[in-house]
Structure 1
Amino acid sequence: MKKLLALILLLAAQSVLARPAAPLILISIDGFRADYLERGVTPHLSALAARGVRAQAMRPSFPSLTFPNHYTLVTGLRPDHHGLVGNVIIDPAIPERHFLIRDKQAVLDRRWWDQGVPVWVTAEQHGLRSASVFWPGSEADIQGVRPTLAPPYDDEMTPEQRVDLLLSWLDLPQQQWDFLSLYFSHVDHAGHDYGPVAEQTMAAIAQADQAIGRLLAGLQQRGIQANLVVVADHGMAAVSPQRVIRLDQLAPEGSYEQVVDGPYAGLDPAAGRAAELEAALLKPWPHMQCWRKQDIPARLAYGRNARVPALICLAEPGWSIVFSAEQAAKVHGGRHGYDPAAPEMAALCIAAGPGLRSGMLLPAFDNVDVYPLLMHLLALPPLATDGQLTPWLPALR
């Protein structure tokens, strides 16, 4: 029994101390459309893709929004399964608070996140060390666990400052990192304000590329050979106030409660008025289709979670669904949230490092397939997910 106990303790110690062959850095450039890489302003990203692996496109999950897809990337679960079903969420089990991405207290509340288990939680549970520069969810104690380092989100911090913060962590004495994540927001901001083809958006894309170059140079100076995975959560489509659908003009007054508007809209019927609201919306409409949550097409993998509103309406790319004239007047620039199959929603995905082959172009795949790659590169057992490692197998060393 003593020998058996000693063997168990030895194996347990090895499982804790075993580390991946190279550190893994996951980088998100929010709103970086797949075809932005063809605009001629991304020399560092293009060079990274040339010496690594690039996907022709990566399809986001529905709804193609920031928080749902960032959580999908690190859990491998569709929003319907990990619970972050939108940027605005109403949960009958959490009646005292709605989830809003700008509500600090809501973002810190683990109840919104605990239906999924992100990479950094599993890493920390296996004795690895993780750190995050602003990845959505990293501020909450999901499953009671947080990254070793994860400062509060600061949208004013420039891309260069975010890179420098991550590099400073690599210089900490007596600290070895296994999984780091880095989030850039400014390309998405520019896309929203000016649209996906505007000069200002091109400048933001170029700035993101320079930040990637700064990170690569910093890693080289420190002699760190890391596996890098650079992704986006979604693309961007041009919109205008001339392409709007007014639900307040289609549905009877007082028959619904608004949850979310934009490329898709979520509504809950007012008490006793479900049949009336459905009769008004569940019919063919130009540039929009509406469904009961249980009737949403299977390809969208959405509608089973209790947090999904009772009715979902989805606009054609470029169109916006609003609830008032005031909202219609504010539609400008670019938006996302459309059908993930729309080319405008296709997202960037590049991977490079010692664990990956060079010069490979992979066919388009779904973003749920990123999580299995992350777990493979970390040599961690993946949890049950909606993704698979299969699309990556030709690219792995």
Structure 2
Amino acid sequence: MKILFRPLLCSLMALAAGCATTHDHPAAVAPAPQAAIKQAPAPVLLISIDGYRADYLSRGLSPTLQTLANTGVHAASGMQPSFPSLTFPNHYTIVTGLRPDHHGIVNNTMTDPVLGKFSLGNRDAVSNGRWWDQGTPLWETVQTQGMKSATMFWPGSEADIHGKHPNYWKPYDGNVTADQRVDQVLAWLDLPADQRPTFITLYFDEVDHAGHSFGPDSPQVNDAIRHTDEALSRLVDGLKQRGQLDRINLIVVADHGMAHTPTRNTVLVDRLIPLKHVDVVSMGVLAGFNPKPGFDFAKIEATLEKPQKHMTCWDKTRVPARLAYGSNPRVPQLLCLADVGWRISSSDYVAKKKSTTQGEHGYDNEAPEMQALFIAHGPAFRQGAQVPSFPNVDVYPLMTHLLDVPAAANDGDYNAVKGMLKPEAQ
């Protein structure tokens, strides 16, 4: 039965290089009761390939992923991201089971009435647990149940959410190679049983970076797909050598897909409204504006909510219900969503920018280009099974079931995904 979350009126890491430490950061956790350790479930390794669009698998460049799909469970048409189809909101959705409107990470760039401004490059913000505390990440629940967790880069894992970190975690460092990330996960699995994590995350970002810089149909994206699959092959080989491949439940996901956005496909919003009359919260695929004292915001809304070329605008109270977005205080009062393949910007920004991205995401989460990879493999999963598309909020109750831990309040539906498990594992 679906559990609906009622958002509270409260308030990875930044995806930017510059944090070069590679030391573990163990979090203090009370000793687990002996009974909780006695019958530990099979470990769950959650792997994210940022920006790996569902149909990338059909390019034939990911033999390791294809083998896992053929011998496990695969959502052939993809997994549907939550809206907005952006990196931080969807990564946090996957580990909380909450839609962005409910867990509070409503955009990669946002403002909070109390906390101020949040952006990917603001390390103080991304490491501040108050931005993230409207949700309860799975690593926190796992630890309260007497098991250990480890995150090899995951949005939110750098923050002291509810005063806690994962037992083992890494501050994001874009210079850490895919192979090094894999090796760290294997090292954690080599720890003595009483120190070994039961829930682990692993994050790859090369596919997303290439998609933004060169577009989803570029040779550079194909190279990134190959490189990431080679790192996954290293992981699978390492698990085989340890006799663990058939003893660990692997869940491979993406946070969103990617759409081609030619440079010319830019809506210049300053040609429609005077930007100095609003507080600009964000630009890009999903632009957000708040009222500025002394100016007629109702007139601004009336202008932008008229039919526009290549974008649609709403007051937050009028966002279509299927997007499940607009109730959180961090959502700007006025939202403009670009059509797939377009972006929203300003004349000044375009004039100063030396180059523009050739690929973007953040669009309507029903768009085919936004559908994300989902593959699962392990002792609990059926073999050679294809499942229909499902919303990514359902991954969370699937993982809590596999780990035999109580689920926090969430928007997911375990009954929608339990069919991918073997009968004895349901």
Matches within 5 A, 1:117-132: 117-132=136-151
The letter of the residue matching 2:126 is V
Q: Deviation per CA, 1:81-137, whole angstroms, max 9, x where unpaired?
A: 000000011000213xx1111111111100100000011000001111100101111
Q: Determine the structure 2 residue equivalent to 1:219.
A: 239
Partner of 1:205: 225
Whole-angstrom CA distance in 2 between matches of 1:235 and 1:47: 21
Match of 2:170 among 151, 154, 168: 151
* Contact map agreement 2:113 2:330 (CA 8 A) in 1: yes
Name the residue aligned to 1:297. 320
Give the C-alpha shift of residue 331 in structure 1.
2.8
Matched, 1:375 2:395: no
SS in 1 for 2:112: coil
Distance of 1:327 and 1:266 partners within structure 2: 18
2:59 is matched with which residue: 20, 32, 39?
A: 39
CA shift in 2, pair 1:356/1:274, >3 Å: same
**Superposition deviation, residue 282 in structure 1:** 1.2
Q: Residue 325 of structure 1: CA displacement?
A: 4.4
* Alignment partner, residue 290 of structure 2: 268
**Residue from 82, 107, 127 that aligns with 2:103:** 82
Partner Cα separation in structure 2 for residue 147 and residue 393 of structure 1:
27
- Matches of 2:165 and 2:275, distance apart in 1: 45
* Structure 2 SS opposite 1:206: helix
2:304 aligns with 281
Q: 5+ residue gaps in structure 1?
A: 1-11
The CA deviation at 1:40 is 0.8
Matched, 1:341 2:341: no
Runs of 4+ with >4 A deviation: none
1:4 maps to none
Change over 3 Å in CA distance of 1:221–1:103 after alignment to 2: same
Q: Which whole-Å CA distance do the structure 2 matches of 1:87 and 1:140 have between them? A: 15
Please point out which of 51, 62, 68 is paired with 2:89: 68
Deviates further, 26-35 or 55-64: 55-64
Of 338, 345, 348, the match for 1:315: 338
> Counterparts of 1:13 and 1:326 in 2: how far apart (Å)?
56
Deviation readout 1:45-97 (Å, 9 max, x if unpaired) = 000011110112111111110000000000000000000000011000213xx
- Residue 373 of structure 1: how far off its partner (Å): 0.8
1:211-259 residue CA offsets vs partner (Å, 9 max, x unmatched) = 1111111011111121000000000000012111111100134221111
The match for 1:178 is 198
Partner secondary structure for residue 230 of structure 1 = strand
Residue identity over aligned pairs, in percent, reads 52
Gaps of 5+ in 2: 1-31
**Structure 2 residue 134 is the aligned partner of structure 1 residue 115:** yes
- Check the 8 A contact 1:237/1:335 in 2, yes or no: yes
TM-score by length of structure 2 reads 0.88
In 1, Cα distance between the equivalents of 2:367 and 2:115?
Answer: 33
- Distance in 1, matches of 2:62 and 2:86, equals 24
Note the C-alpha offset of 1:169: 1.6
Aligned with 1:365: secondary structure?
coil
**Are 1:193 and 2:213 matched, yes or no?**
yes
Q: Is contact 1:269-1:277 (8 Å) kept?
A: no
Residues 315 and 333 of structure 2 are in contact (CA less than 8 Å); yes or no, is this contact kept in structure 1? yes
Q: Is the 8 A contact 1:262 1:322 kept in 2?
A: yes
| Match of residue 9 from structure 1 | none
Deviation at 1:326, TM superposition (A): 3.0
Distance 1:21 1:354 in 2: 11
Query: What is the alpha-carbon distance in structure 1 between the residues aligned to residue 35 and residue 279 of structure 2?
Result: 51
Cα contact 1:25–1:182 (8 A) shared by 2? yes
Q: Is the 8 A contact 2:263 2:357 kept in 1?
A: yes
Residue 183 of structure 2 corresponds to residue 142 of structure 1: no
* Contact 1:259 1:268 (8 Å CA) reproduced: yes
CA RMSD of aligned residues (A): 1.4
| Whole-angstrom CA distance in 2 between matches of 1:74 and 1:138 | 10
CA distance in 2, matches of 1:344, 1:105: 33
Count of residues in correspondence between the two structures: 384
Which residue number in structure 1 is paired with residue 69 of structure 2?
A: 49
1:8 maps to what in 2? none
Counterpart amino acid of 1:171? D
The CA distance in 2 between the partners of 1:54 and 1:361, in whole Å, is 5
Q: Given the alignment, which residue of 363, 372, 377 partners 1:352?
A: 377
Alpha-carbon offset, residue 19 of structure 1 = 4.3
**Matching residue of 1:239:** 261
| Kept after mapping to 1: 8 A contact 2:50/2:203 | yes
Residue of structure 1 in register with 2:274 after alignment = 252
The 3 A distance-change label for structure 1 pair 20 and 358 is: farther
Q: Contact 2:398/2:418 (CA < 8 Å) preserved in 1?
A: no
- Partner residue, 1:7: none
What is the letter of the counterpart of residue 338 of structure 1?
Y
CA contact (8 A) 1:239 1:334 kept: yes
Listed one character per residue, the Cα deviations across residues 259-318 of structure 1 (whole Å, up to 9, x for unaligned) are: 111111111122132112112211001111100011100011000000000100011100
Structure 1 CA distance for aligned equivalents of residues 66 and 46 of structure 2: 17
What SS is found at the alignment partner of 2:85? coil
Would you say the 8 A contact 2:188–2:196 is kept in 1?
Answer: no
